[in-house]
Amino acid sequence: MVGIVGAGNVGQALAWRLHALGFSVALLKRPYQVLEAPFAVASSWEGFPWPALETVFLCVRDVQLPTVAAQISPRLTSKVPVFHTAGSVELAVLEPFFGSQAGVVYPLQSFSVGRPVDWGQFFVFWEGTSAAQTWAETLTQDASKVRFADSKTRLRLHVGAVFTANFVNALFHMAETILPAPFSREVYLPLTKEVLSKLRVLSPEKAQTGPARRGDQETLAKHLALLQEVAPPLAPLYQHLSQYIQSYMAQSSVQ
Amino acid sequence: MVGIVGAGNVGQALAWRLHALGFSVALLKRPYQVLEAPFAVASSWEGFPWPALETVFLCVRDVQLPTVAAQISPRLTSKVPVFHTAGSVELAVLEPFFGSQAGVVYPLQSFSVGRPVDWGQFFVFWEGTSAAQTWAETLTQDASKVRFADSKTRLRLHVGAVFTANFVNALFHMAETILPAPFSREVYLPLTKEVLSKLRVLSPEKAQTGPARRGDQETLAKHLALLQEVAPPLAPLYQHLSQYIQSYMAQSSVQ
């Protein structure tokens, strides 16, 4: 039986995935969480089938990992691999408790409860016990999407994920702030989709377009003037990001 | 015959599209541009079939529009509609030359020479002569993707396009700057694709995830420390964008 501690976005996604793959799953949620599932769900520490667990995934908040690890280690037999799933937490946090059975399984994806994701389309990174690699391959069902990443590399991957997920989302918030009714972010989705398509085959330097890349000072000035009028907090961000583009284009070999 | 002045990304895209739709097209390129095409291509002002043109699209740089408009207006009959295709240039730039025949056809998409785009999947905005609306509908082949936008609204649309295209691309440059070999931006493409999928159905506030949204100060501090070590110019951008997320989440009704 696979135990999953924590029923947030990642915990629920793992539970559904492993259940769909035919594993027997037990998920530990908080007492107030409402959750209907075809697998075992416990709401209390005591109600969780610790002795039956052959693998444990810890899907709790980063700061809780040491506490949770300390609490569960006496309840498990010494041969049970225990993984965390966090981008920015070192493997070393688990090693004092689980020794060579400690591992990390880090899926580089944005999970939201209720939204199925396409396992096998994104990468899953592992570290520590080789069981972590095995589980990453089980989850993806595609070994080509599984990579080893040490804790420092995983931290870098996670920072990059913040740029390409949370900050991309924030840019849509900014764009929507500027837009007059009746227009909405819908007008931008095909544009960003095309940017992603280009990035499949071109470097960001080669794929870049727009006034900052062209050095079109007149348009940059018009844009800044508009922002200062309709959304002043966006003006320094516009300037900061445009300067970033101009500085990397200046250093680039791309014309 | 449709005349297209300027054979950059937009001019070439329009020429190919209109040719594919069965129109007779003449494209005016610069003498040094190499371009093979199934439609008429001229390299000089004198070689362009001005008297035969029934419609003209100006696809030149923003700053050149008044000059080009002044040069072509004496060569056209007064009933020929003339459009520009720029996001940040007012219709008023063309009106002194073409009066009520002046218009704008602004496709909100990122064009690159040699990359076909899916007309009808993105919006095309128009202003001025009603012929602009008709041509927008011809280009999209889908009137539901055509919208009127006055010059001020179009400027806002264009600024938003910078955020959701040029700046998204820049975020990929940043993410790649942080990544150690052998990883590349490829690891982030499925993540950003998922962010876009969420934005089809959720507001940016509801779709937001990550340490800034969670108020996870420990992870934010780890990320900043890493950036200060491996890519110092990215640290202030990380902070700036994280603060933006925290400020809009604080004002939001989304928990």
- A206 interfaces chain B, CB cutoff of 8 Å: no
Farthest CA pair distance, chain B: 69
CA distance A81 to chain B (A): 25
pLDDT digits (tens, 9 = 90+) for A170-180: 999 999 999 98
Is pLDDT at B16 greater than 60 in this prediction?
yes
- Name the residue facing A171 among B155, B168, B216 (closest C-beta): B168
Query: Residues of A with CB below 8 A from B179's CB?
Result: 156-157, 160
| pLDDT bucket at A251, cuts 50 / 70 / 90 | confident
Flag if B172 and A164 touch (Cβ within 8 Å).
Answer: yes
- Name the residue facing B199 among A185, A198, A226 (closest C-beta): A185
Query: Residues of B with CB below 8 A from A144's CB?
Result: none
Query: Residues of A with CB below 8 A from B161's CB?
Result: 175, 188, 191, 210
pLDDT digits (tens, 9 = 90+) for A9-43: 999 999 999 999 999 999 999 999 999 999 999 99
Q: Which of B102, B113, B137, B112 is closest to B123 using CA atoms?
A: B137
CA distance A236 to chain B (A): 9
Report how far apart, in Å, the C-alpha atoms of B57 and of each of A89, A170, B13 are. 55, 35, 12
Is pLDDT at B153 greater than 80 in this prediction?
yes
CA distance B127 to chain A (A): 16
pLDDT digits (tens, 9 = 90+) for B160-196: 999 999 999 999 999 999 998 899 999 999 999 999 9
**% pLDDT > 90, chain A:** 92
Flag if A153 and B183 touch (Cβ within 8 Å).
Answer: yes
What is the domain partition of chain A in residue ranges? Answer: 2-149, 154-251
CA distance A202 to B177: 15
CA distance B220 to chain A (A): 9
Helices and strands in chain A, H and E counts: 11, 8
pLDDT digits (tens, 9 = 90+) for B197-237: 999 999 999 999 999 998 999 999 999 999 999 999 999 99
Q: What is the pLDDT of residue B194?
A: 96
Q: Give chain B's mean pLDDT.
A: 95
Instruction: Give the mean pLDDT of A203-219.
Output: 93
Flag if A147 and B183 touch (Cβ within 8 Å).
Answer: yes
Alpha carbon of residue B31 to chain centroid: 26
Query: Residues of A with CB below 8 A from B244's CB?
Result: 170, 173-174, 233, 237
pLDDT digits (tens, 9 = 90+) for B104-116: 999 999 998 888 8
CATH for the stretch B2-149: 3.40.50.720
- Inter-axis angle of helices B167-178 and A151-161, to 10 degrees? 170
* 3-class DSSP state of B106: strand
Instruction: Dump the DSSP string for A3-72.
Output: EEE--SHHHHHHHHHHHHTT--EEEE--TT-----SSEEESSSTTS-GGG-SEEEE-S-GGGHHHHHHHH
CA distance B34 to chain A (A): 17
* 3-class DSSP state of A215: coil
pLDDT digits (tens, 9 = 90+) for B120-152: 999 999 999 999 999 999 999 999 999 999 999
Tell me if A239 sits within 8 A of B240, measured CB to CB.
no
Report how far apart, in Å, the C-alpha atoms of B5 and of each of B20, B49, B218 are. 18, 11, 55
* Contacts of residue B92, Cβ cutoff 8 Å, sequence gap at least 6: B151
A115: closest chain B residue by CA: B198
How many inter-chain contacts (A to B, CB under 8 Å) are there? 301
- B221 interfaces chain A, CB cutoff of 8 Å: no
pLDDT digits (tens, 9 = 90+) for A142-152: 999 999 999 99
- A62 interfaces chain B, CB cutoff of 8 Å: yes
Q: What is the pLDDT of residue B77?
A: 86
Flag if B167 and A198 touch (Cβ within 8 Å).
Answer: no
CA distance A53 to A5: 11
* Contacts of residue B197, Cβ cutoff 8 Å, sequence gap at least 6: none
Flag if A223 and B88 touch (Cβ within 8 Å).
Answer: yes
- Which of B:133-192 have CB within 8 Å of A? 147, 149, 153, 155-176, 178-180, 183, 185-192
CA distance B104 to B127: 5
Q: What is the pLDDT of residue A255?
A: 55
Is pLDDT at A254 greater than 80 in this prediction?
no
Could you give phi then psi for residue B42, rounded to 5 degrees? Answer: -115, 150
Q: What is the pLDDT of residue A253?
A: 75
Q: Give chain A's mean pLDDT.
A: 95
Selected for mutation to probe chain B from A64, A173, A224, A254 (highest B CB count within 10 Å) is A173
- Which of B:26-55 have CB within 8 Å of A? none
Q: What is the pLDDT of residue A114?
A: 83
Instruction: Give the mean pLDDT of A63-71.
Output: 96
Could you give phi then psi for residue A40, rounded to 5 degrees? Answer: -70, 135
pLDDT digits (tens, 9 = 90+) for B77-108: 889 999 999 999 999 999 999 999 999 999 99
Instruction: Give the mean pLDDT of B59-88.
Output: 95
Query: Residues of A with CB below 8 A from B172's CB?
Result: 163-164, 199, 204
CATH for the stretch B154-251: 1.10.1040.20
| pLDDT bucket at B255, cuts 50 / 70 / 90 | low
B155: closest chain A residue by CA: A223
Query: Residue B73's CB: how many other CB atoms inside 10 A?
Result: 18
Residue the block writes with tokens 């806002």: B156
Could you give phi then psi for residue A219, rounded to 5 degrees? Answer: -70, -40
A224: closest chain B residue by CA: B159
Flag if A237 and B238 touch (Cβ within 8 Å).
Answer: no
Two tokens at B125?
Answer: 């905005």
